[in-house]
């Protein structure tokens, strides 16, 4: 509590910082998603199936606790 009173900005930053533990593949999918690339093109770019891309996106949403790509991109 004393640290919070002495340094409110430091304590606030540590409270809002979250670790989501996205895999490298999930980060790659999310980066392309944020650039507006569609699922089929992401699949081609990463040499995986569109169904796999959809599964990665489901897992990303679950880890980030979001329900759509706009929320995922903003949170990430």
| Whether the predicted model's global pTM rises above the 0.85 cut | no
pLDDT mean for each 10 residues of the chain (76 residues): 57 54 93 93 96 96 92 85
CA atoms within 13 A on the CB side of 60: 27
**Hey, what domains does the chain have and what are their CATH numbers?**
22-75 (1.10.10.10)
pLDDT confidence of residue 56:
95
CB 64 within 8 A of CB 20: yes
Tell me how far apart the alpha carbons of residues 43 and 40 are, in angstroms, rounded to a whole number. Answer: 5
Q: What is the DSSP string of 6-37?
A: H-HHHHHHHHH-------HHHHHHHHHHHTT-
Pick from 67, 5, 55, 7: nearest CA to 29: 55
Q: Provide the pLDDT for residue 11.
A: 47
Looking at residue 65, its pLDDT comes to 92
pLDDT of residue 18: 58
């Amino acid at each position: 509590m004393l640290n919070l009173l002495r340094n409110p900005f430091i304590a606030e930053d540590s409270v809002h910082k979250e670790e989501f533990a996205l895999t490298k593949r999930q980060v790659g999918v999310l980066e392309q998603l944020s650039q507006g690339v569609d699922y089929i093109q992401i699949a081609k770019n990463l040499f995986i199936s569109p169904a796999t891309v959809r599964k990665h996106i489901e897992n990303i949403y679950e880890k980030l606790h979001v329900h759509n790509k706009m929320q995922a991109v903003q949170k990430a």
